[in-house]
Amino acid sequence: DSDFRTLVRLAKKWRNYSGIKPLKSFTIELIMAHLLDTGGSDGTIEEKFRRFLLYIAESGLKETIQFKENMPPFKVFEDPVIILDPVSSENNVASRITEEERIEIVNAANDAWETAHFASAENDLEIWKELFGGRFKVEDAA
C-alpha cells in the first residue's frame, strides 16, 4: 500500500503525543500491515488511520495477529498481546506488553478514535491537533 509509511508515521505521532510508551514502532508497523492485508487498502489515509484506532479499540488487542508468511510450528503464547513476527512464528513481538499496558493502549485508541471520528465529521483540523499536537498540519491534495 502506497500509504503504509504515512500511516505508520501518523500512528507513531499519535503514540508519541499521547505518551503511550509500551506501543513500540515495530508493533505499530505490524498492526498496520495486518489491517492492510486483511481489510484491503481502500479508502483515504484518514479512513485507514481511523480503522487502525478502531481495530485496537474493538479487538482490545486480544486477537492473535499473524501473517500468511508465518509457518508452523507455532509456539503457544500466554502474553496479553500476541503479534507474531512475520519472519519467525516463535517470536511474539508484543511479548513485553503487560495486561495493564494493553488496557492503557486500548483505552487511548478508543478515545483517539472518538476524537478522529468527530474531527472527520466536522472536517476540523483543530480537533485533529488533539491527537497529534498543535503543530500538526495537513497538506492539500494536488
To 5 degrees, how large is the angle CA 120–CA 51–CA 78?
145
| pLDDT score of 133 | 85
Reduced to 3 states, what is the DSSP secondary structure of residue 19?
coil
Using 70 as the pLDDT threshold, list the residues of the chain that sit under it: 139-142
| E-only strand ranges, 12-139 | 84-85, 88-92
pLDDT in tens, 95-131: 999 999 999 999 999 999 999 999 888 888 888 889 9
Is 4-131 in CATH node 3.30.70.20? no
Q: Do the Cβ atoms of 8 and 32 come closer than 8 Å?
A: yes
Give CA angle at 132 (129, 137), nearest 5°. 65
- What is the pLDDT, as a whole number, of residue 142? 47
The pLDDT mean for the chain works out to 92
Residue spans of beta strands (DSSP E) within 62-107: 84-85, 88-92
Domain ranges of the chain: 4-131
**Cell numbers representing residue 68 in the block:** 500468511
Instruction: Give, for 88, the enclosing helix (H) or strand (E).
Output: strand 88-92
Whole-angstrom distance, CA of residue 142 vs CA of residue 135: 21
